[in-house]
Amino acid sequence: MANKLSANVKSFQKRWNANWDDATAFIQFKNRLLFLIDKHLSKSIVSSKELINQYAFICGLCAPYSATGDLNKVFVKVELEQKGFNNTIIYSTIANSQTPIQVAWYLQNLFTAFNNMLQNNTHLQMVIDNFYTELVDVLSVSPVSQIRLSKNKKGIIVYPAGAKLLDDVLVNENLTWLLDYPESHKAFEQALSIYFSGDKLKFRNLVDNLRVAIEQLLRRVLGNEKSFENQTKELSVWLEKRGVHSQTKNLFSQLLFGPYAVFQNDAVKHGDEDLLPDEIEYLIYLTGTFLRLLIQLNRNES
């Protein structure tokens, strides 16, 4: 597309002060998503019954094609190519989705199925990258989708959208920068995955993962193996050496080792499972601000 969709849509909405109702906007989003899948991925989809079967397996659906027989494989390939993407289980599951979380589920499973085919396939990786780029643009004008994407070495991850500015700065960039700190990256990503699942019974684990993300990052930047609670003095010295204003240093340390640590103790050790999703989102962003400052200061030093 010569012009980005987002530029055209935002320009029109600004001129006309127009916004669609959620039901209309959701249908528009699904249609655009299916168009992009057809445009970028349909050739790979209709040429591989294995990909389609794996997608179905990940989704927990019955595999539509037999897994055995060379002759059968030939007939299936011809059938798929003749009928096209619109007649696959991938198309039908997304097209028939009634809620954003259903679309997110099927989209994540599609990325996962493709990820298993990417080894040493640079052309397919380029195709996925192009799809990702256009989809990010579509998502920017589709707040009703409640979806955002993050790309790392493991592939593309689908996350629930929050405030765009906070997501871009405190989540997406942190996930990218934390790749240099694998233990912290793993914990932060696991916390986000639990949040996306919406499973309140696992919120305790989510909160603990946020603590582990900070603890592991502190160990790396401070060069020790101390527990989270025992880093107060070392962190204060580290921040001071990097020219952090005394009040910023005090605010950061007092909040991190004061109320934040107390909350961690209450939520994790005492098994508090009555946390609201909005509280969890707040904790994710708050943890993101801690991580971001530590990463930036450490990057600036490097």
Residue 85 is given by DSSP the state: G
Q: Is the pLDDT confidence value at 48 over 70?
A: yes
Q: Is the pLDDT confidence value at 269 over 80?
A: no
Q: Is the pLDDT confidence value at 273 over 60?
A: no
Q: Is the pLDDT confidence value at 195 over 90?
A: no
Q: Each residue of 251-272: b (16+ CB within 10 Å) or e?
A: ebbeebbeebbebbeebbeeee
Q: Which of 103, 133, 128 shows the shortest CA–CA distance to 118?
A: 128
Mean pLDDT of 188-202: 78
Measured at the CA of 140, the angle between CA 136 and CA 142, to 5 degrees, comes to 110
Q: Is the pLDDT confidence value at 78 over 70?
A: no
Kindly compute the dihedral angle of the four CA atoms of residues 221, 227, 230, 233, in this order, to the nearest 10 degrees.
Answer: -10
d(CA 192, CA 281): 9
pTM score of the predicted model: 0.61
Q: Which of 35, 28, 29, 50 shows the shortest CA–CA distance to 85?
A: 35
More reliable by pLDDT, 128 or 161: 128
The rounded percent of the chain whose pLDDT value lies above 70 is: 86
61 Cβ neighbours under 8 A, 6+ residues apart: 89, 93
Q: What is the pLDDT of residue 68?
A: 59
Q: What is the pLDDT of residue 302?
A: 63
d(CA 229, CA 156): 34
Q: Which of 210, 191, 205, 204 shows the shortest CA–CA distance to 267?
A: 204
What angle, rounded to 10 degrees, do the helices at 22-46 and 100-115 form?
A: 20
Mean pLDDT of 5-24: 83
pLDDT classification of 169: cutoffs 50, 70, 90:
low
Q: Is 188 helix (H, G, I), strand (E, B) or coil?
A: helix
pLDDT classification of 104: cutoffs 50, 70, 90:
very high
Query: How high is the mean pLDDT of the chain?
Result: 86
pLDDT classification of 73: cutoffs 50, 70, 90:
low
Q: Is the pLDDT confidence value at 250 over 80?
A: yes
Token pair of 25 as six digits? 């906007």
- Across 33-42, 98-107, 145-154, 233-242, least confident range: 145-154
Mean pLDDT of 90-94: 97
Residue 225 is given by DSSP the state: -
175 Cβ neighbours under 8 A, 6+ residues apart: 150, 152, 157, 185, 188, 189, 192
pLDDT classification of 194: cutoffs 50, 70, 90:
confident
* Tokens 């990702």, located at residue: 132
Amino acid at 82: Q
Q: What is the pLDDT of residue 1?
A: 45
Amino acid at 63: A
**Strand locations in the chain (E):** 147-152, 155-160
Q: What is the pLDDT of residue 4?
A: 79
